[in-house]
Amino acid sequence: MNFLSTRGGEKATGAQAIVKGLSANGGLFVPEKFPVVTTEEFEEMLALGYAERAAKILKKYFDEYDEEFLLKSCESAYSKFEGGDPAPVVKLDDGVYMLELWHGPTCAFKDMALTILPYLLRKGCDICGIKEDILILVATSGDTGKAALEGFKDAEGIKVTVFYPSDGVSKMQKLQMCTQEGKNVDVVAVKGNFDDCQTAVKEIFASKECEEKLLERNVKLSSANSINFGRLAPQIAYYFSAYLDLVSSDQIEMGEEIDFCVPTGNFGNILAAYYAKQMGLPVRRLHCASNSNNVLTDFLATGVYDMRREFYKTTSPSMDILLSSNLERLIFEISGRNAKLTAKRMAELKTTGKYEITPQELEKISETFDGGFADEDGCVEAMYDVFVDTGYTMDTHTGCAMKVAVDWFEKHKKDETKTVIVSTANPYKFPQDVLYAVTGNDVKDSFKGIKRLHAATAMAVPKQLKELRDKPARFTKTVDGSKLFDEVLEFVSK
């Protein structure tokens, strides 16, 4: 299968799309057409484990990759997850389920893609005949950075540089990144917010001068953010797997439509669900959940994307984003795959901070998507209510999704469609905020928060988070956003 740029002018194979990450004109790679999962394939996947299901979905997009390679890679990647099932579905209430995506090495949903991406990237380089070293350049709002660092740690021929907003991640997320082991990794704090990091990284990708200076050092750029289709494709798999688990546990009938409620900032997680729907997964609606940075909520209601607004630092920092990069892929689809129009809109966004779609396009989006958001109080209330009613503990990002789902349930009381809420992080990644939500107690120290949260919930504490207390910080540098490429050159020149 070939891939196109959302802004036109380029076509790539799957391997090329993975290795490049971003098209030369700044567009995002999308499949030339959506592959379809047949009725027979649905039935076949019912009896398969997660790794086998994921390999079959990946093969649909990356046909130049050998099927046996994909299966062995998935088996190796997902063997790193605790509990035997990388993406278990937990019943919360009648018709309401939690899809837990945080049982991997870094306790966040990014592991679902970033444990498999190193295999896809390394093989992609071989397929494309690339001999240069690869530099994975990552802007993170908290979880992608650590998952990329862990996934590519000590990988041969690959280096990883992660930029994160200096005051825009949780204490636990910062500790995870700054104590990262590995000879091929670099972590740098950036003055500003995630959008500043993401914009600077995109400019590096788009710069011919940067490309030439890296090639002088025998280095090519690639990305582990969800702008890279190799990051997005593995996320499609867990929507299929969740559906199949509901069928096999007799919660739904095969072919019955369900809803997903997805907390998202950069729009990648929910876009993967939309792609699954395009492939034939029986999805009725996708509820897009935001926090106080509710630019997506407003867009889905009005058709106007306007990031000229106040930026809020919240207790769900991975969603503290105003520039949702993956929305470009949806805009491309609903415009009738009009690359010229998509490029024009993205140029408007860059120069004015705003663009608008047509009423007809908004109507098309509204057939599948709706949006809601949770402010800080609403998030806390949702987390508390669920804990008291069911004993289930969730992190702050999932709390935002729960608030949006509850709002939907209250507005549509006779709606009997089953709903899966996507749970994106282990509660212990945000121990102080989760502790406050479920007990009302406020502590300043993250590890005291872990101890007290465990006492309150009896939920097992991940070993990798407990061990952070005694790990020395390797990376302590903070730089201005205009200096990021200088940091890149310094790192690759070592």
Question: Contact at 8 Å (CB) between 102 and 148?
Answer: no
Q: Domains of the chain by range and CATH?
A: 89-106+230-459 (3.40.50.1100)
How does DSSP assign 30-99, residue by residue?
Answer: EESS-----HHHHHHHHTS-HHHHHHHHHHHH-TTS-HHHHHHHHHHHHTTSTTS-SS-EEEEETTEEEE
Q: Which amino acid is at 492?
A: V
Give Cα 174 to chain centroid, integer Å.
18
Instruction: Give the strand pairing for 2-5 and 29-31.
Output: antiparallel
pLDDT at 225: 87
Low-confidence ranges of the chain (pLDDT < 50): none
Dist CA 248 CA 392 (whole Å): 23
Question: Contact at 8 Å (CB) between 305 and 279?
Answer: no
Residues forming a β-bridge with 421 = 98, 261
pLDDT at 140: 93
Q: What's the DSSP call for residue 391?
A: -
Tokens of 253: 């009938």
Dist CA 391 CA 214 (whole Å): 52
Sequence length of the chain is 494
Dist CA 393 CA 384 (whole Å): 9
How many CB atoms sit inside 10 A of residue 494's CB? 7
3-state secondary structure of 155: coil
Tokens of 458: 């009896």
Q: What's the DSSP call for residue 218?
A: T
Residue 30 has φ and ψ, to the nearest 5°, of: -130, 155
- The owner of tokens 């997660």 is 50
Dist CA 438 CA 204 (whole Å): 43
Burial 305-326 (b: 16+ CB within 10 A, else e): bbbeeebeebbbbbbbbbbbbb
Residues forming a β-bridge with 195 = none
136-148 tens-digit pLDDT? 999 998 889 999 9
Dist CA 95 CA 139 (whole Å): 37
